[in-house]
Chains A and B, each alone.
Chain A
Amino acid sequence: GAVVSQHPSRVICKSGTSVKIECRSLDFQATTMFWYRQFPKQSLMLMATSNEGSKATYEQGVEKDKFLINHASLTLSTLTVTSAHPEDSSFYICSARRTEDSYEQYFGPGTRLTVT
């Protein structure tokens, strides 16, 4: 149990275009989902916290207009990178928390974004 999937696993897009990444909790309902970014040889950086039915909370320094997050259901959160640039190329990882009583986060397999 507690499986989180991401789609796509890899995506290449041209500079200036937008790309959407999906994060799904397959066998549980996730009231809260999180989005992380990881550059090569670096640690995970928390970008935002996504709560179902409400606006996402962004970490300091993360542009909310560039990284649009939608958490429309208890099993799906999406991250849209708008007007992507090469410096947005990174590994994007989501995680999901089962209930508000548990701090356990289940991580997805990540999405490799390359902007050319």
Chain B
Amino acid sequence: LAKTTQPISMDSYEGQEVNITCSHNNIATNDYITWYQQFPSQGPRFIIQGYKTKVTNEVASLFIPADRKSSTLSLPRVSLSDTAVYYCLVGGDRGSTLGRLYFGRGTQLTVWP
């Protein structure tokens, strides 16, 4: 498994842009980078996935530099409801390893009013 490193926690205020960086120095050539979001007492939810450069959807953007050793999840104009834990996974499609998901520690994002 490619090991990932994320900040344990981040704080932001409503309306700000939040960037969460994940390091994955040992990423393999075929690996995707996938981010999940988990609210308290709920199951995780897939947010975004990318392989290189930039990916954007209605929820977030994912920036991946050319060396792919890190990635940055960008949440534009966060609101209180974005307070959650964000997990970065590296592996096959949807972050899987042989079809399974192995979650790291994640980043607790707290958005303040």
Contacts and interface: CB of A to CB of B under 8 A. Distances in A.
Given A46-B100, A49-B100, A107 B43 contact: yes
Nearest to A59: B100
A105 interface: yes
Interface residues of A, number: 22
Q: For the side of the interface on B, what is the size category?
A: 20 to 34
Contacts of B104: 43
Interface string A3-37: 01000000000000000000000000000101000
B100 A34 contact: yes
Contacts of A108: 43
A94 B43 CA distance: 8
Given A43-B87, A43-B105, A110 B43 contact: yes
A44 B102 CA distance: 8
B106 interface: yes
Contacts of B38: 44
Contact of B43 (A32, A95, A102, A104): A95
B105 A103 contact: no
B35 to A, nearest CB: 14
Contacts of A49: 99-100
Interface stretch (B19-27, B76-84, B89-97): B89-97
Interface of A: 4, 32, 34, 43-46, 49, 91, 93-95, 97, 102-105, 107-110, 112
Top-10 shortest CB links A-B: A107-B43, A103-B93, A103-B94, A103-B96, A44-B103, A43-B103, A93-B43, A104-B94, A43-B105, A108-B43
Interface of B: 38, 41-46, 87, 92-94, 96, 99-106
6 contacts: A43-B104, A44-B103, A45-B103, A95-B101, A103-B92, A110-B42
